[in-house]
Amino acid sequence: MSGGTFAARTRGCMRERILEVLRRYWGYDSFLPLQEHAMACVMRGTESVVVLPTGGGKSLCYQAPAVTLPGMALVVSPLISLMKDQVDSLVECGVPAARLDSSLSAEEQGAVRSRVRARELKLLYVSPERLMTDGFLDLLRGAAPSFIAVDEAHCVSMWGHDFRPEYRQLGALKEALPGVCLHAYTATATQQVRDDIARQLRLTEARMLVGLFDRPNLAYKVERRANVLEQVRAALDRHRGDSGIVYCIRRADVDNLCQRLGELGYRVRPYHAGLDDATRKRNQEAFIREEVETIVATVAFGMGIDKSNVRYVIHAGMPKSPEHYQQESGRAGRDGLEAECTLFYSAGDFTTWSRLLSEMEPEAKAVAQAKLADMYNYCTGVTCRHQALVRYFGQELAAARGARAAEGCGACDVCLGDLDCLDESLETAQGVLLCVTELEQRFGADYTAQVLLGSRDQRVVDNGHTSLPSYGLLAAHTRRLVRDWLEQLVAQGYLCKTEDYHVLRLTEKAQQVLAGEETPRLLKPAAGASRAERTGKPKTSKTAKESWDGVDAGLFEALRALRRDLAADKGVPAYVVFGDAALRDMARLKPTTATAFLLVHGVGEKKRQQYGDVFLAAIRNYATTAAGGHR
């Protein structure tokens, strides 16, 4: 047998072993994009940095190989709540897993250590602080871990959006546990962050595996904040009975909004660092167990939440970077079903964040301010939201969607036509481009806006720009609006900025606007209700329509109630029993036998044994009741 043939057969055998594990424990019969490559790295002992968007099956990239390989894998995770969720889900699937953290009693920790020594576990979750203690490293040396997975690996890098100094010490594992491979996993990391992760963890010839950042099941909407209470209520009312998160910038905003929503009858709880530990834990668990529908929180909430059925994420204020927005909005729709991400912003958010960032070290502050500006440009932009986000991470929507990308994403306010655009967009854009031309393409956006507004700033006067034809052309508008239009023209490719001083330059596309052959989209100034609010419910995304295709909504609700009761009896989150995707598939396929039940997406052997009889009975009972009602 040739070497090439043997290698191919070996790869095929390894693939079948992994697929068998996926079928048996998780009920999946195929890989999500990049999963197979990431799992192969673990199986072969090739170190890796894996970047997959939230909902892309990142955790399975190390969980499935851990079950397949001999021995126990070690998972480094930053938060107790995240570890608990992961372990609960694994145990529910029949995987021997445990965690070691400060929330466990001394007796419970001793029991876990005994299981490690007895080599009974396939996965052990620990925090970076615990991992690097001498006693724990001795325990690991005796256990000979199969590999180490570093989850939320962006915490390693100071260029990441959630840098944690304790993650820096993980590189010492290469000396403490020689020969054990490390693999890093995160949902959001730019090229700079990915390189820093590999360097800090001292990875050897690491394979960089970067998935597509596009989340087609998320519908993005952005509005200027006017009446935040009414705007948030309108979003909540679109999702009655569903789980969701509302993010605010400050603790006071959380408390105020949560109180007002509660008084209006919404099932909400607050979450921020100002609450005592017991209250935070109680509120988080109420949300996870679906005792309340909505958590109103600062960004202190969410990183440790593995809840798959979050149907909406609302930002009542602008996040401080696109990375944060990708991470926070990404907590919606982790099950692959449709979810809505709505962002309400104002120019004051930029000022608030700038003030909060002012005490940072100069180098870090410069990075943070640049990211803040990128986030504001996203809010004021009028290009496809999906395209804008993936482009920030160095990708193009066409890479994910092919020819369909030219038709728009079909899941954002821009592509669904929900934005209010200026009737005289062409004339306004021509005036702006004319001004940049008259300024000989030598000035930035702030100065250009001053000229268009007819400013008597000393610099404008001294430069003699008060005599330009475009001087004062947009004097009837606010400075903020004119600046927004400039950024919208940049985002649509009619203007560009030089890398050094951000000087505005015309692009080739600008000539088509000046010739009247192409019309940019410029937003109207905010005035009362948005177009979507005036014309009724916002348009439904293609993903939402497809995910409900063939689903009996009544049966889905009956199964959801059954799931909630079973989860309450077992003391686990509802999505640990079954995710919404599995329930919808049941309500679509309506299986009546144990064999047919295994065909449902997300049903493995262990869950069929645990829940098959009760769910099949519920499906049969629903069918009988429905038939009786039609007699």
* 101-148 confidence digits (pLDDT tens): 888 899 999 999 999 999 999 999 998 888 877 788 889 998 999 999
The model's pLDDT over 370-404, given as tens digits with 9 standing for 90+, comes to 889 889 889 988 889 999 998 888 888 887 676 66
Q: Span 209-234, mean pLDDT?
A: 92
Correct CATH for 425-522 of 1.10.10.10, 3.40.50.2300, 1.10.260.40, 3.40.50.2000:
1.10.10.10
**Model pLDDT, residue 539:** 58
pLDDT band at 167 (very low <50, low <70, confident <90, very high): confident
Q: Span 487-495, mean pLDDT?
A: 87
H or E element that contains 74: strand 73-76
- b vs e for 394-423, b when ≥16 Cβ sit within 10 Å of the residue's Cβ? ebebeebbeeebeebbbbbbbbbebbbbbe
Q: Span 78-98, mean pLDDT?
A: 88
State the fold for domain 218-407: Rossmann fold (3.40.50)
Q: What is the chain's mean pLDDT, rounded? A: 87
Residue 355 clears pLDDT 80, i.e. is over it:
yes
**Model pLDDT, residue 616:** 95
State the fold for domain 548-629: DNA polymerase; domain 1 (1.10.150)
DSSP state of 121: -
Number of other CB atoms surrounding residue 320 within 10 Å: 24
Q: What is the CA radius of gyration of the chain?
A: 27
pLDDT band at 531 (very low <50, low <70, confident <90, very high): very low
Q: Which of 66-70, 161-165, 364-368, 496-500 has the highest mean pLDDT?
A: 66-70
Q: Span 193-206, mean pLDDT?
A: 92
Work out the angle at residue 411's Cα, subtended by the Cα atoms of residues 545 and 406, and round it to the nearest 5 degrees: 110
**Model pLDDT, residue 563:** 93
Ranking 79-93, 229-243, 587-601 by mean pLDDT, the lowest is 79-93
pLDDT band at 492 (very low <50, low <70, confident <90, very high): confident
Q: Where are the domains of the chain?
A: 14-210, 218-407, 425-522, 548-629
Three-state SS sequence of 272-300: CCCCCHHHHHHHHHHHHCCCCCEEEECCC
Contact between 253 and 425 under an 8 Å Cβ cutoff? The reply is no
**Model pLDDT, residue 543:** 67
**Model pLDDT, residue 11:** 65
Exposed (0-12), middle (13-18) or buried (19+): which is 204, by Cβ within 10 Å?
exposed
Residue 165 clears pLDDT 80, i.e. is over it:
no
The model's pLDDT over 52-66, given as tens digits with 9 standing for 90+, comes to 987 788 999 999 999
**Model pLDDT, residue 508:** 92
Ranking 248-257, 323-332, 464-473 by mean pLDDT, the lowest is 323-332
Q: Span 289-316, mean pLDDT?
A: 84
Separation between Cα atoms, residue 473 and residue 471, nearest integer Å: 5
pLDDT band at 346 (very low <50, low <70, confident <90, very high): confident
Intrachain domains 14-210 and 218-407 with the same fold: yes
The answer as to CATH 3.90.1150.10 being correct for domain 14-210 is no
The model's pLDDT over 5-46, given as tens digits with 9 standing for 90+, comes to 434 555 668 889 999 999 999 988 889 889 999 999 999 999
Q: Span 444-458, mean pLDDT?
A: 95
pLDDT band at 249 (very low <50, low <70, confident <90, very high): very high
Separation between Cα atoms, residue 560 and residue 67, nearest integer Å: 30
**Model pLDDT, residue 7:** 45
pLDDT band at 213 (very low <50, low <70, confident <90, very high): confident
